[in-house]
Amino acid sequence: MNSKTDKILSISAMVVAVASIVVSVWQGVENRNHNRLAVVPRLDISYTTSANTFGFKVKNNGIGPAILSLRSINFDGKEIDWYDLNNLHSVRASLGFDAHLSFSILREFSTIPAGTEHVLFLFTSKKTDGMTAKKRIFDRIGFKMEYKSMYDETFTSLSSNYENVKSVKQ
């Protein structure tokens, strides 16, 4: 073979080698992005209601588990401590109707697996108070949850009314 042919073969081999490295790196980046998306949690905070109950629930509609990092309750325009039972019972009392209060204890670093649902708060009344009492609750209490994916990416979910909660004078 002559030197011109050797040069062409060497350059061709270099081009193929560089192209394969570029494709390999690109594939690694895409694979990493896919793996991140494969474990993204998505917490949705919504309310649930029936004739004598009203409550808020959280559901993980994502693919991966949600690791809780912050939970806050906005009541009458100010944040209250999720874990202070006196605060929670005063919330129930100040809503102005007789109801039993059930709630979930979701601590920091609690995990909500994909596809699961937890009741945050559930008010159960012995009598049907109608939509007036439910509207009173909805207007005065909201929830915020910050959570992370398995890749330590941070997300935030708010109940639909969280930003609009205001102090309501009875």
Is pLDDT above 80 for 52? no
Interacting residues of 114 by C-beta distance below 8 A, sequence separation 6+ = 41, 60, 62, 63, 64, 65
Question: What SS3 state is found at 71?
Answer: strand
pLDDT-based confidence at 167, cuts 50/70/90?
A: very low
Residue 37 three-state SS:
helix
| 2-37: pLDDT as tens digits | 888 889 999 999 999 999 999 999 999 999 888 888
Q: Residue 157's Cα: distance from chain center in Å? A: 5
Site of tokens 């062409």:
8
Is 101 or 113 the better-scoring residue by pLDDT?
Answer: 113
* Calpha distance 19→12 (Å, rounded): 10
CATH 3.90.1170 at 43-164, yes or no: yes
pTM, rounded to two decimals: 0.72
pLDDT in tens, 106-115: 888 889 999 9
- Domain positions in the chain: 1-37, 43-164
